[in-house]
Amino acid sequence: MMSESRIQKHPILSVDRTIKTVNFMFNGKKITAKPGEMISSALFAHGIHIFGRHKKDDSPQGMFCANGQCSQCLVVANGIPVKSCVTPVEEGMDVRSLDGLPELLKDDKVIKTGGKVPIIKTHVLIVGGGPAGLSAAIELGNLGVKCIVCDDKQELGGKLSLQTHNFFGSIRDCYAGSRGMDIGNNLFYKIKDEESIQIWVNSPVVGVFSDKLVGIVRNGEYVLVKPERLLITTGAREKTLAFPGCDLPGVYGAGAFQTLVNRDLIKPTEKLFIVGGGNVGLIGAYHALQADIDVLGIVEALPQVGGYKVHLDKIKRLGVPVFTSHTVLRAEGKDHLERVVIAEIDDKFRPIAGTEAVFEADTLLIAVGLTPVDELKKQAEEFGIKTYAAGDADIIAEASAAMISGRMAARKILLDMGFDVEIPPEWEEMLKILRSKPGPIKDFYPLPKDKDIYPVIRCAQEIPCNPCTEVCVLQSIKIKEPNIMGRPKFEGDCLGCTRCVSICPGLAITIVDKRYDKTKKTARVIVPWEMPEGKIKTGQIVKTSGMEGESIGKGKVIAMKKSKWQNRRTLVSLEVPFKETDLVAGIQIKEPLTKKMASKVKQSNDDEIIICRCERVTKKEIKDYIRDTGVRDINAVKAALRVGMGPCGGKTCTELIMRVFREMGIDIKDVAPPVERPFNQEVPLKAFLNQKKGKK
Ligand code: FES
């Protein structure tokens, strides 16, 4: 029997109800997992969030990135320390907490190295099988160019597989209106049988070398690839924040959360708090609500959120409070997060005393932006390999932009190889649009006064999106501006076909039908709905909410139907009074939580802020060292304090150390960055033995 922490119903994802399980041991206790599941997910499914204790100070260690980028989730599996987030459970596996340093295997013995490392030649090596890499491979495969697409994960698709929501953009250029996970599958199917393309999954690239070879551990065995050209589509890693308690289990990245919830269907928390109001944080809140997780609030340091207004409105309608000009002061708890303290900040981002509020959350997601994974690109360029980059590894933007940039990079490669192709200027234009920040918020277009049936389009901000204009059968929805950043306007007639309600990625369109009951003066309002089954039922009287979550009144659910035009979206028909029809934008399923002011707040000090979580080095230690020595070289700080020298290779803390320099008033331009050397990823040493098959 699977435990309670697995999601049993989800509005978008199908729940695998097969009872097939594998068994493994954790600290001597038998535990079940789903076949192929990562150890960390199986532990979370059983409510185990503390995976071990740190060698330096015995502090509890748990999940942080769920992406193989950090090392906080280390456990010992069959005697060998492994990252539990990228190590699948095997039947009968003996998993133990890593408490302190791991011990050498008792029966360790000398193994003879095998033969020579194979060198494989290819026209193009694509590193990273996400939206950019797959889109590039499709272009190259179409012309029969020999490519290898390699990825460190077990499946291609990158972060698309975690994106259960509908994409913005244009239908023609980047599948707008479809869900990210479906787009990932589509892209994969386009290359999977392509003869000129080899797909290498479970194959991390560990380094690029001066002899123009690329080292890859392909399914556990080391190989070298000699590409004529190298395309880096390695995506992005999440930025993080340093505050007291940021290292507690229960504080982790939004990407880790999406992995647990949307890939593995684990319910890792009951009460969630989020820091960061960009699209990632806002969508994270929406995904949590879809998994029936209570979102207590979101804080954003800026006066406005950076994400799309339609994403913001959508979660406010569902009752999530968003606190702008606020920050997280501290995360508190004994061995796990128990509460989050937030405070308002002034225009210099300083907390304002007396505004502290406390939320009893067991999980805090950090969603404060992304940074390109571009180490390999820099190394390859240094060694003179013909190198290209696309997607987030080049410029951080939405996945829709990554797809176009992948196609453009492929065309550039083809041109450089002498193929007779071109990069259409409209692609360049579309990429620019898709990479642009959301524009200003404007007024709505006035609603028609003389119609009985019409859509209400609550798209007040300029964002790159046009699916509603493309699906309208009567072509009554148009963007007047010269490109898809403009706001859609309804003029003409409406058939009430609901295609626009079904496709709008922002869930920002409702249909008003005043023909419903003219004698009672009630209308039918059709709203899009993607929440778990059972939250509302036909016949129920529900509270209705306006565009930004304000209470409007009450409505009766008169019908709930799966949309014909959009997989897994429900269209809910509400009966509402005439005077409220244009205002009703959604259904309130919970009252927003109000702030509970904190009676007493512990003052923070730099001693309790961990900057390097692998080596447990505090902000105070780093500041003292910089101040005492006057050093301006991050490598010197590393050598002295071991920051950045833990198993994650500084991927988590380097940016935080740079921020410490900045906070001390030191110009970052004067600080020497860390020297990047292979290996870029940790892989077992055994991989370099090149043993003959079947030998131990
Ligand atoms: S956090 Fe891993 S080396 Fe610093």
The full length of the chain comes to 696
Q: Is the CB of 648 under 6 A from ligand 1?
A: yes
CA–CA separation, 368 and 650 (whole Å): 18
pLDDT above 90: residue 244: yes
pLDDT-derived band at 476 (thresholds 50, 70, 90) equals very high
Atom of ligand 1 nearest to the CA of 645: 3
User: Hunting for tokens 């009893």 — which residue is that?
Assistant: 360
Q: Which of 67, 246, 613 is the pocket-test mutation for ligand 1 (most atoms within 8 Å of CB)? A: 613
Predicted confidence (pLDDT) per residue in 161-172, tens digit: 999 999 999 988
Cα 86 to Cα 217, 326, 402: the distances in Å are 14, 34, 24
Sign of CA dihedral 174, 180, 182, 184: positive
Q: Distance, CA 642 to ligand 1 centroid (Å)? A: 9
Q: Is the CB of 646 under 6 A from ligand 1?
A: yes
pLDDT above 90: residue 19: no
Out of 6-15, 201-210, 337-346, 589-598, which region has the weakest mean confidence (pLDDT)? 589-598
SS3 406: helix
CA–CA separation, 159 and 602 (whole Å): 38
Q: Distance, CA 612 to ligand 1 centroid (Å)? A: 5
pLDDT in the model for residue 676: 80
Q: Which residue has the higher pLDDT, 680 or 81?
A: 81
Atom of ligand 1 nearest to the CA of 613: 1
Sign of CA dihedral 672, 678, 679, 681: positive
> Please, where are the H alpha helices in 67-160?
131-142
Q: Report, as an integer, the average pLDDT of 492-514.
A: 95
pLDDT in the model for residue 18: 73
Q: Is the CB of 54 under 6 A from ligand 1?
A: no
pLDDT in the model for residue 680: 83
Q: Distance, CA 69 to ligand 1 centroid (Å)? A: 10
Q: Report, as an integer, the average pLDDT of 565-586.
A: 93
Cα 171 to Cα 177, 189, 408: the distances in Å are 7, 19, 18
Q: Report, as an integer, the average pLDDT of 550-555.
A: 96
Q: Distance, CA 577 to ligand 1 centroid (Å)? A: 58
CA–CA separation, 92 and 107 (whole Å): 19
Q: Provide the mean pLDDT of the chain.
A: 93
pLDDT above 60: residue 665: yes
> Please, where are the H alpha helices in 495-551?
499-503
pLDDT above 60: residue 405: yes
Q: Which of 30, 437, 10, 67 is nearest to 237 (CA)?
A: 67
Q: Is the CB of 248 under 6 A from ligand 1?
A: no
pLDDT above 50: residue 445: yes
Q: Is the CB of 650 under 6 A from ligand 1?
A: yes
pLDDT in the model for residue 695: 46
Q: Distance, CA 40 to ligand 1 centroid (Å)? A: 20
pLDDT in the model for residue 693: 53
Decide: 73 and 62 in contact? Cβ < 8 Å: yes
pLDDT in the model for residue 681: 83
Q: Which of 96, 109, 116, 117 is nearest to 51 (CA)?
A: 96
Predicted confidence (pLDDT) per residue in 214-230, tens digit: 999 999 899 999 999 99
Residues 6+ apart with CB under 8 A from 90: 22, 24
Q: What is the Cα Rg of the chain in Å?
A: 26
Q: Which of 368, 313, 13 is nearest to 164 (CA)?
A: 13
Atom of ligand 1 nearest to the CA of 71: 2
Q: Distance, CA 619 to ligand 1 centroid (Å)? A: 13
Q: Report, as an integer, the average pLDDT of 610-630.
A: 96
Q: Distance, CA 473 to ligand 1 centroid (Å)? A: 55
Out of 380-394, 555-569, 608-622, 652-666, which region has the weakest mean confidence (pLDDT)? 555-569
Q: Report, as an integer, the average pLDDT of 356-361.
A: 95
pLDDT in the model for residue 1: 43
Phi and psi, residue 645, nearest 5°: -110, 15
Q: Is the CB of 643 under 6 A from ligand 1?
A: yes
pTM of the model: 0.93
CA–CA separation, 126 and 406 (whole Å): 10
Q: Which residue has the higher pLDDT, 371 or 606?
A: 371
pLDDT in the model for residue 109: 76
Tell me the one-letter amino acid at 52.
Answer: G
Q: Which of 615, 641, 656, 657 is the pocket-test mutation for ligand 1 (most atoms within 8 Å of CB)? A: 615
pLDDT above 80: residue 450: yes
Q: Is the CB of 674 under 6 A from ligand 1?
A: no
Q: Is the CB of 34 under 6 A from ligand 1?
A: no
